[in-house]
Every structure is written in structure tokens, then in C-alpha cells.
Amino acid sequence: MPRPLTPKERDLVAFILGQHSPLQGHFGLVEDMNDGGMGSLLFAGAADRRFGRCIGEAEFDDADGVLVSVALHLDQRDELFELDLWKVDFSPLQRIPAIGDVRPPRGSAQKLR
């Protein structure tokens, strides 16, 4: 069932997008993905959508100290497609932290876009 992003989900997407993205503030509705409770979201859209590209990544430590990797994907039309959260031990996500505790991926020269 589609729903709006929670405030912490919205902050996470905005953080990855950056201040100057034309997608900023145009998040629409999302659906929880069947990922074992790790928190991944599918943005609502046309039925024929498919993965286009990753536009940014981040990471944070969950409340239990386990690393969570985050990737924001666009579809083939450059519209928001997925917010992919992957907890490295595959356990369910406990919380999305305050944005001050979210960081670029370790060991990566890639900057958030």
C-alpha cells in the first residue's frame, strides 16, 4: 500500500540527493519492499519502470551497531525508483538515525550527488 515517506526517510533521501537536485522535494509515495525488514522502499510510479542508475550512496550504523548501506536509484526515466537499504548482517533495520549520523560510504572516493 503506497504511503508518504516518514520524516527520517525523507531526510535520508534529501541528504543523498543534495541541495541542488531537481528531484529535491518531489518524493511522492513509496511502498515497503519485501527485503526482510531492512527498510528498502520502492517509489510509486508507472508499471513499466525499471532500474536506470544509482545516483548516490550513504551509510550509517544501526542502533545495534551493524553497518547499513544505502543507495538511491533512479528508473530509466530519471525518476526516483528505489531507496535500497542493506544491513550487512541481513537483520531487520531498527531505525534510520538523525541525518548527522549518516555519512558517505567508507573507503569510497565517491561523493554524494
pLDDT of residue 112: 45
**Per-residue model confidence as pLDDT tens for the chain (113 residues):** 899 999 999 999 999 988 657 666 678 899 999 988 889 999 998 899 999 999 999 999 999 999 999 999 999 999 999 999 999 999 999 999 999 999 999 866 544 44
State the pairing for strand pair 80-87/67-75: antiparallel
List the Cα angle 112/47/43 in 5-degree steps: 30
pTM: 0.87
